[in-house]
Structure 1
């Protein structure tokens, strides 16, 4: 063990895997190794304070809580500060002998520890964790401080594989302004990457404020995934209560707001009987993309079309949109003859585009479909029952 004399510098010594520090409580000290005493205010000899830290040196293992242990007496306060000035919160044990951080030590980070005991003695220590060989990052949706529709999930796509799904999920804290019930669910994203979404049990209530605090700094993704080296935070608000109902069999699109019909429009869906048919199910408006170039080869339909398309509203990753389709005007309201999208005339598509919000549900029904939208093809989680969705959590 090493000792810290009053008003002198300190040093740490590795001993059986821990750093051991001794701090003199008063200006008067003496004694031998491991049994030094100091004189307290009452004149009686008191043993010097000794603390040990489970992480030591400059290449300490990341991903573990910081534990500070006191040899004698009781700890009253421990402060652990990282090299960026952020603190690791923690708690002193009931017996006062130890303190454990609530968060884990992050890779590639230096830490300074200051401990105080019941007699006013103090001690300091420091260590640094080894730099990560690989860093994992993520992409969040929806965007921060946005207003979205009642079906919008909170979605996270990771750059690298996540094998430690339960540990990662524990670090993802969702809070809502009205205690909305919801659950995380894991899947492989359309891109092939790991993805986890948080979906409420039912559609969101308008006005709900949602916050994600992803306390990932110091969490290991697992094999081939790397470490997270920062926390993430985002928040969004739920907007109007509106649902777009698409009836493929009757070729109608209805916008419902607060349960009341706003407008009933003619449309033409995908040609039934093959790959050009539309998907059915409860999907979510992913983005409003305006005028875009749509090419059939990008969705596996050869050279069937190459068009600039107005008022484009994306519903799936596989290329299903609602949009203006004036070239199909003769079929609107009476037949499905598109290449998979929900087509409207220019005026109606413009009106719908102006009214809908990203995150609005599009509830597509009818037999003229090629099946139900897949879970990862956009936001397909609303096609699962609540119990089936909850079963996709790594903590179930």
Structure 2
């Protein structure tokens, strides 16, 4: 009978086992340290840089784990905090030292599990739990707007308690602030307006009839020297219909659409020469049933000065631009532009618009002789910025363009 090399080996093993007697083994390796063996306690063989007892570790110092006594080596280290975040680290080639390569979180509890083996290959294990000191200086973050229902144009804002200037620190902050929408929006990115404010928007308006959530995992995370993140209150918004009001300043009409369908067309008057209404996309900021409008508060005086009671006022800029009732100019509405920059209409039409729109809805002015709406600082002009330019204001997405490779896209952290 012919045997393959494997068959001969198996047969030889069987014969050897029989000749050695019951309980003897051969050809299967030594059972001195079987894989199922329970690891021994390596407490006396492993040292930590973390303090013992109730003392708290300095989060500004790395964690070190060392093998002592020369009897064996470290094979693995897993360090995780109470929130489930793993601490990155590096094990020396000789297995005698492991050290963290990322900052520890402040005010956190860590569990460190160390696996070892001695010179003869026997496994060992040790577990350590320790706390880090709380941060003395914390970065507070407040999401905006207030919870509620908004239109599809509402940006998410993040206001910071401390200025963040360096690219490295901004990277940490931006990675820690998450925005998601249901249904999923088309892309999305944070944009640093300045050192203390970020705005988040998708490439296009938010999906209608959905929701947006903003969350943070910044708590305890080291941002810069001595500055750590604080807990951040999450935000959830409901999104209503896609409501857009398109104001054609040259045609003197405003057409209102809901979810793509026209629902009203209203004769209006916009800013006259010298006071032309700003072009571009604006976002409804709020509504006031009555406002006393005084020209002197926005620098308009002399023969152009005014002080009027105004009803059904829907605000679109902080500098005083509204969509409102203007019964004194009904004869010009649909015909000529005679206002000081606001969009004026009859009292009935203004009341209808007031009741129809909600903060976050879109008012877009076209064909005006005025300047374009500011991107920031006078309301929400965020949507007037081209998408590639918007992403240039993000540390994470500054180099990303539509059509980039999957490897480039994998760098993106914010999700919608």
Asked if TM exceeds 0.5, the reply is yes
Please, which of 162, 171, 174 is the counterpart of residue 179 of structure 2?
174
Partner of residue 50, structure 1? 46
Deviations 1:228-269 (A, max 9, x none): 422231122321122111011111111112222111001111
Is the 1:55–1:61 Cα contact (8 Å) retained in structure 2? no
After superposition, what is the alpha-carbon deviation per residue over 1:87-128, rounded to whole angstroms, capped at 9, x for unaligned?
35215869797586988523xx3x444434454644343441
Equivalences for residues 259-278 of structure 1 within 5 A: 259-272=260-273, 274=274, 276-278=275-277
Relative distance call for 1:46 and 1:114 in structure 2 (3 A) is closer
Alignment partners' CA distance in 2, 1:246 and 1:42: 76
Given that 1:60 and 1:130 are in contact with CA atoms closer than 8 Å, whether structure 2 keeps it comes out as no
- Corresponding position of 2:5: none
1:115 matched to 2:112: yes
Structure 1, unaligned runs of 5 or more: 1-40, 82-86
Alpha carbons of structure 1 residues 143 and 291: separation in structure 2 relative to 1, 3 Å: same
Task: State the TM-score, normalizing by the size of structure 2.
Answer: 0.70
- Tell me: CA distance 1:47–1:127, structure 2 relative to 1, closer, same or farther (3 Å): closer
Cα-Cα RMSD: 3.4
2:214 is aligned with 1:212: yes
Match of 2:144 in 1: 141
Equivalent in the alignment of 1:243: 244
Residues 156/293 of structure 1: CA separation in 2 closer, same or farther (3 Å cut): farther
CA contact (8 A) 2:314 2:324 kept: yes
Gapped runs of 5+ residues in structure 2?
1-36, 68-72, 116-123, 399-416
Aligned pairs for 1:1-396 within 5 A? 48-53=44-49, 60-62=58-60, 67=63, 69=65, 71=67, 72-74=73-75, 78=79, 80-81=81-82, 87=83, 89-90=85-86, 104-106=104-106, 109=107, 111-118=108-115, 119=124, 121-132=126-137, 135-144=138-147, 146-163=148-165, 164-180=169-185, 181-188=187-194, 194-219=196-221, 227-272=228-273, 274=274, 276-302=275-301, 304-369=305-370, 371-376=371-376, 377-395=378-396, 396=398
1:199-252 CA-to-partner distances (Å, cap 9, x unmatched) read 1111222133222112232456669x9654222311223211221110111111
Structure-2 separation of matches of 1:270 and 1:221: 47
1:301 offset after TM fit, Å? 1.8
More strand by share: 1
Q: Which has the higher helix share?
A: 2
Whose radius of gyration is greater, 1 or 2? Answer: 2
